[in-house]
Amino acid sequence: MTTDFDHIVIGAGISGLGAAHFSARRGLSTLVLEASDRVGGCINSQHFDALGGFWTEGGGHTCFNSYGNMLSILDDLGLTGQVEEKLKVGYKLWKGGKRRSILSALHFFEAARSIPRLFTAPKDGRSVADYYGSVLGRRNYRDLLRYAFQAVICQPADDYPAEALFRRKPRRKEVIKAFTFAKGISTIPEAIAAQDAIQVRTGQRIARIESDAEGFLVHGEDGSQVRGRHLTLAVPPDVATALMPNGFEAARDTISDIGMSEIETLVLAFRNQDLPLKPIAGLIAVEDAFYSAVSRDFKPDDYRGFAFHFKPGQLSPEAQVERACTALGVAPDRIAAQSRIHNRLPALRSGHFDLVKRLDAALAGSRLAVTGNWFLGVSMEDALTRSRSESDRLFGT
């Protein structure tokens, strides 16, 4: 039986688009199927047409020159020369209803005593609370680092694997250290999806997937069918569990207990003159209804934008607006535009990397790849690193 494509990818987040890019560069016919009406997944630059196209990030916020796999894709697409520098602005704490300096929560002497361990203490198998409490001090972790890490991963951080945070990567020094694009980071997934060598179909909900000696048969909820010689699942772990084809029960069982963290993101835009707050990178919330607020002050404009990442179910939409405006020191009637996004991130826990090893053993020698932001960490580069390694496994280096 003939196949329609050499490679089918389920999911058009950066993981899936990266997997599609790597196979298309090998000359393989590649199809991407995405359930939603847009590509990019957690990369989601929110554009406001009524504000002259002003945008602010609603998901992933920053790219770095240590993102080697991402930069290789930008090189392929001719985008590396279009990166734009992000101006340096600092974060503030939001604690007890007030904006405070980061240093106000830091215990200097404890950090000075503990920090030598940062260069010798192993991360392997340790939780964030255990590792960073050891190398930077328990009080520093309790009063500052716990909330800083929660702000990064938008979920409780204590039991998160320390190995999945801040992995060291080589930098490309000829590229700006922290960068974005003129129209936001969504430039990247949109450019990958626009390649002639990749066919992308949005609004494609998958009912089930069958596997046989020839490859995979993907059944859509609308009754459509498409065959592929190779398949990549680039979806959250709960979706991957549901879609895992017959013959891969061991892989399905391995990932079935990985949880997800739900995030309610509120994006707000204000006219410059309506917001007296000095430029900031964002707010790290301490014991509040939101994990963090990330600004677009790194790229000055006639407007200012903020993405507030709220804990699910704690505040009504109206109360979220009130809390965000209180934190920024502005009245709600000064909002120039707003949008809401439902984000999901994997809730990794201690022992996760042993689980990944078991999954890889279950997939070894097969034509099925599994990728996402739930293998090495939640960053864009972590996701692409997994996609690259799975592509090499399927198609060779």
**Alpha-carbon distance values, 4 to 197, 216, 274, 311, 382 (Å):** 14, 10, 55, 43, 30
User: Is the pTM value of this prediction over 0.85?
Assistant: yes
Domain ranges of the chain: 5-42+186-258+349-395, 87-166+260-347
Token pair of 388, please?
A: 């690259």
Q: Using CA atoms, how far apart are residues 308 and 353, in angstroms rounded to an integer?
A: 30
For residue 298, the model assigns a pLDDT of 95
Q: What is the mean pLDDT of each run of 10 residues along the chain (397 residues)?
A: 86 98 97 97 96 95 94 97 93 96 90 75 87 90 94 93 85 94 96 97 97 94 96 97 96 93 97 96 97 96 97 96 98 98 91 94 97 92 97 93
Strand partners, 216: 211, 228
Q: Is 72 helix (H, G, I), strand (E, B) or coil?
A: helix
Q: Which fold has domain 87-166+260-347?
A: Polyamine Oxidase; Chain A, domain 2 (3.90.660)
Q: Which fold has domain 5-42+186-258+349-395?
A: FAD/NAD(P)-binding domain (3.50.50)
**Alpha-carbon distance values, 95 to 24, 92, 287, 291, 325 (Å):** 48, 9, 7, 12, 15
For residue 2, the model assigns a pLDDT of 60
Three-point CA angle 338, 339, 344, nearest 5°:
145
For residue 377, the model assigns a pLDDT of 87
**Alpha-carbon distance values, 145 to 99, 105, 175 (Å):** 17, 9, 29
| DSSP assignment letter at 332 | G
Q: What is the largest CA-CA distance in the chain?
A: 70
Q: Using CA atoms, how far apart are residues 109 and 102, in angstroms rounded to an integer?
A: 16
